[in-house]
Amino acid sequence: MDILLLEQQRNIEFGAATATHCPYCAFQCGIEISGTGADVRIAGDAAFPVNKGALCIKGWTAAAALSHPDRLTTPLARDPNGVLVPVGWEEALDRIASAFKGTREQYGPDAVGIFGGGSLTNEKSYLLGKFARVALQTANIDYNGRFCMSSAAGASIRSLGLDRGLPFALQDIAGAQAILMMGSNSAETMPPMMQYFEEQKAAGGKLIIADPRHTPTAARADLHFRLIPGTDAALALGLIGKPNSGYGCLTGQGGREHGQKADQLPGYRRIDDPAARQYVASVWGVPETSIPGPGISAYELLDSLGQDGGVRSLMVMGSNVVVSAPNANHVVDRIKALDFLVVSDFFLSETAELADVVLPSAQWAEEEGTMTNLEGRVIRRQLACERPVGVKDDIDVICELASRLGTGAFFAYKNTGEIFTELGRASAGGPADYSGITYEKIDASQGVFWPCPSLTHPEHISMVPPAHVRSRRCFPFSAPRFPRGRARSPCGTTRRRLPALPDHRADLAHYQSGTQTRRIPELQEMMPAPLAEIHPSTARRHQLEDGGPVTLQTRRGSANFKTNISRNIREDTIFVPFHWGGMQAANRLTNPALDPISKMPGFKVCAVRIQSTPHPASPTGEAGNRP
């Protein structure tokens, strides 16, 4: 154990506050965590320049998940009767390695798949990509970030030449004369971000919101366009690139920068680029020909499970695909068709319940590493709490499995810092170059923005300017050149109706698949069940009562919700959150049709039927269906 880890361990033992970051959204608020066991306390870190001490309710209550009674503390495996029972780590890892070897021998390496998560540290994301390509030699690795940001990322690359959650620093928001936000509800999804919009408004700036719902963010706007879902693109065309308009989709970065996507190698390199393949192969010490080519995207991977020519054994790390993937009924059927499924998680999620082996993983406060926030700011996640006895970090799991698969020599690291150093070398020269970033540099400057290709460059990146402004003073390294004139719109000039740009519109209480937040009492009390937001006139037409049951149906399936009658929604639109599983899963309804460029499913727009309750006058008592 190095000196830094010893100091962190000493802080834990004596209950000193540790500066780290919230485990939830891409804002990555700075927090201070102190205490031990069930008495862990969280405070906002006023010194961190992103949130400046502010936290949302999810951040304030994040520690409750660390000592929750549902916490997994031992591996589980299916017994002959099909029941998940506790087993030792050696048995669990042996079963996984044996299943992977058997699948490769029978069906080939691409029959083993990896499904990762955007919540993983940069080090885990990098290592998972390397594990897939070096230890398993499979092309089939993708992650849940494909479900939330890939279309916006593709659009940003095509129009701005740069994929960042924001192509500018958060501090630039306050200085904007006018900002247009499309399909984003920051007041609920990222409440600490609203302080920047408040500063902008105080300085005389204008905020324009385009959203079918009158959200808390829209309530603060100077102008609200209540669009028909799917018409965002038409509004976006001659706007992008004008100096007084803001454009950006708000999410994290690191998961897709360093190897979890089916088509990318570390540093945003394309896996089908011969030069990129040769360079990364030299860093890994493997032949270039041994690195597989591009694999299939996240939903395509799930759709292939158990099918001829598809994935037969799957490892899921940091994701709950049963809740988060579209067309959820079909996804469950495909998972059940697998020969073998292993899930690494800290709770028995809906996906873990279907696994052959479940591995208990460390949580955010029990590990160290780096994260990359929506600005492209690389920050440090510090070890703040001891993990429960019997729990392993995902990094340990990856390395131990690699050893069992005969590739342990490529995964021999003394600590997380060595992984980050290798990540830097593997990303060097790529669009997302981390080679000049070190843990020490991050700690000394409250985060370092990529690209940062030099360890010794005299200038230090202190901000990220708008992508259409190239300034050597502010952005001294290799920023892509913006095309002369206006930005290129990825929509072209066509005025046809297109699906809405995607976003994760998590409500104030819950996050993503709800695996953590649905177990925190304060958050469950705020929103114990999903509500279907329906306009009063629509509710009257279908004889729905506020708080009463409603069943929504599409071609993919049906789901049950409580009715929330509200004038904040268009008459022709229904909104439901997706943070629940079972019959309350919104993704039982959603459309798996894929964007041809990003391969992101069409979560946001689909036709839905309100299935009304039985009519009293109906002689059979059968439920009627009204469009």
pLDDT digits 0-9 by tens, 222-270 = 999 888 887 776 776 675 444 333 333 333 466 677 888 899 999 989 9
Strand-pair category, 223-225 with 41-44: unpaired
When mean pLDDT is compared over 330-344, 368-382, 587-601, the highest value belongs to 330-344
pLDDT of residue 253: 60
At 603, the pLDDT band (50, 70, 90 cuts) reads: confident
Q: Which residue has the tokens 């299939």?
A: 296
Q: Which residue has the tokens 């009463």?
A: 548
Using CA atoms, how far residue 145 sits from 151, 262, 275, 297, 322, in Å, is 10, 12, 26, 11, 15
Reduced to 3 states (helix: H, G, I; strand: E, B; else coil), residue 30 is strand
Q: What is the CA radius of gyration of the chain?
A: 24
Q: Do 212 and 573 contact (CB within 8 A), yes or no?
A: yes
The closest alpha carbon to 378, from 458, 337, 438, 318, belongs to: 438
Number of Cβ within a 10 Å radius of residue 460: 13
**138: number of CA atoms within 13 Å, CB side?**
34
Low-confidence winner among 199-203, 422-426, 591-595, 614-618 (lowest mean pLDDT): 614-618
Q: Do 40 and 372 contact (CB within 8 A), yes or no?
A: no
Q: Note the residue count of the chain.
A: 627
Q: Strand (E) positions, 131-270? A: 141-143, 178-182, 206-210, 223-225, 264-265, 269-270
Low-confidence winner among 111-115, 244-248, 576-580 (lowest mean pLDDT): 244-248
Number of Cβ within a 10 Å radius of residue 420: 24
Q: Strand (E) positions, 414-529? A: 448-449
More confident residue, 25 or 115: 115
Two structure tokens written together for 474 = 């502010």
Cα(122)–Cα(378) distance, integer angstroms: 9
pLDDT of residue 481: 37
State the average pLDDT over residues 434-442: 92
Percent above pLDDT 90 for the chain = 47
List the beta bridge partners of residue 371: 379
pLDDT of residue 91: 97
Percent above pLDDT 70 for the chain = 80
Cβ-count burial of 492 within 10 angstroms (0-12 exposed, 13-18 middle, 19+ buried)? exposed
Q: What is the mean pLDDT of the chain?
A: 81
pLDDT of residue 459: 53
Hey, where are the domains in the chain? Answer: 530-626
Does residue 1 register a pLDDT over 80?
Answer: no
At 38, the pLDDT band (50, 70, 90 cuts) reads: confident
At 475, the pLDDT band (50, 70, 90 cuts) reads: very low
At 507, the pLDDT band (50, 70, 90 cuts) reads: low
242, 243, 248, 252 alpha-carbon torsion, rounded to 10° = 140
| CATH class of the domain at 530-626 | mainly beta
Helix runs in 377-492, H state only: 394-404, 416-427, 439-445
Does residue 355 register a pLDDT over 90?
Answer: yes
More confident residue, 185 or 464: 185
Q: Is the dihedral of CA 256, 259, 264, 269 positive or negative?
A: positive
Cα(364)–Cα(189) distance, integer angstroms: 20
Cα(381)–Cα(20) distance, integer angstroms: 5
State the average pLDDT over residues 578-601: 80
pLDDT of residue 585: 84
pLDDT of residue 148: 74
At 457, the pLDDT band (50, 70, 90 cuts) reads: low
The full DSSP string for 108-151 is -GGGEEEEE-TTS-HHHHHHHHHIIIIII--S-EEEGGGGTTHH
State the average pLDDT over residues 442-455: 87
Low-confidence winner among 81-95, 259-273, 481-495 (lowest mean pLDDT): 481-495
At 470, the pLDDT band (50, 70, 90 cuts) reads: very low
State the average pLDDT over residues 349-372: 95
